[in-house]
Amino acid sequence: MTVRVTPAAGWVRVRAAVTGLPEGERCTLVVVGRDGSRTTAGSWVVGAGAREGEGKGAALDGSAAVAPADVAAVVVENESGKRFVSVPV
């Protein structure tokens, strides 16, 4: 996963490119604060076929009401809480 976090006034914009996730997983993009707080920035279902899925990946745009200085990491996990990837910020 590659992540770009762009500061805004008291919140952040998140752009993530994610590959290698299992088809059919219901995933969530989460912004983790330095205090351990968690804010959902987006969610999706990993698709199948030539344009999506494990091989191709997904590009996601989201936002989170977290102060830019408080962002510690961006993670992708499924709805059961299994963490697939984490990128420190």
20 within some domain: yes
28 within some domain: yes
Integer Cα distance of 24 and 8 in angstroms: 33
44 within some domain: yes
pLDDT of residue 52: 46
pLDDT of residue 40: 97
Integer Cα distance of 39 and 87 in angstroms: 15
The parent domain of residue 76 ranges over 2-81
pLDDT of residue 48: 63
86 within some domain: no
pLDDT of residue 53: 42
Number of domains the chain contains: 1
pLDDT tens, per residue, the chain with 89 residues: 999 999 999 999 999 999 989 889 999 999 999 999 999 999 999 886 534 444 567 899 999 999 999 999 999 999 999 999 999 99
Structure tokens at 37: 């707080």
29 within some domain: yes
H or E element, residue 9? none
pLDDT of residue 56: 64
Contacts of 19 (CB under 8 A, 6+ apart): 1, 54, 55, 56, 57, 58
pLDDT of residue 28: 96
89 within some domain: no
This prediction's pTM: 0.89
